[in-house]
Chains A and B, each alone.
Chain A
């Protein structure tokens, strides 16, 4: 069965610092991968997605993610974090019938 692992439950960074959130997916020759963000009290918003092609994908709010098949990873990055990036981030893998989510990484941003 598909599974998505986000190894870090909680990450704290200082404003202006760089960020990398890790995500590993279970299997799939051509995985469909997503990163969603959930701000406190809000629904989920898509940051970016990877279906095929260029392994470095750009998303909204200055985020990017890199697909590495050899490592079964799809890590999310941002060069300089803003206080408004504090939220919970979910990696997800899409299959033929459903989306499987990781358990999320909560990001705290210190001033």
Chain B
């Protein structure tokens, strides 16, 4: 089944404790992206990747890192999480951009 998977789905952590949210797609898509969703703000792009080893900042990249060492994986790294990073995070992929993006199920992160 074609899908985008994210792990974990739910995470509660404390300020400053490094964490990684994994994202994997099995559709051989070149383009992958991370978004955060906050009430009243819609989805805002954090980082995106056009292909392996090619990543770029989206609209809200501060406090986040990403890597794209393999085509299928695009982990989101929070080196020192802060409470303002409490949010719902979505990973998405598409064959190319612009194109239909397939979204993962989301990761709800709470930073205390």
Report the nearest A residue to B41, measured CB to CB.
A103
> In chain A, residues 1-49, which have Cβ atoms closer than 8 Å to a Cβ of chain B?
9, 32, 34, 36, 42-46, 49
Contacts of B98 in A (CB 8 A): 32, 94-96, 99
Cα-based distance from A10 to B92 in the complex (angstroms): 26
* Total number of residue pairs linking A and B with CB closer than 8 Å: 54
Does A67 have its Cβ within 8 Å of any Cβ on chain B? no
> In chain A, residues 84-100, which have Cβ atoms closer than 8 Å to a Cβ of chain B?
90, 94-100
Task: Indicate if the CB atoms of B97 and A97 lie closer than 8 Å.
Answer: yes
Task: Indicate if the CB atoms of B48 and A97 lie closer than 8 Å.
Answer: yes
Task: Indicate if the CB atoms of B50 and A97 lie closer than 8 Å.
Answer: yes
> In chain B, residues 18-55, which have Cβ atoms closer than 8 Å to a Cβ of chain A?
33, 35, 40-45, 48, 50
Contacts of A45 in B (CB 8 A): 103
| Given A96-B97, A97-B48, A98-B97, A103:B40 Cβ within 8 A | yes
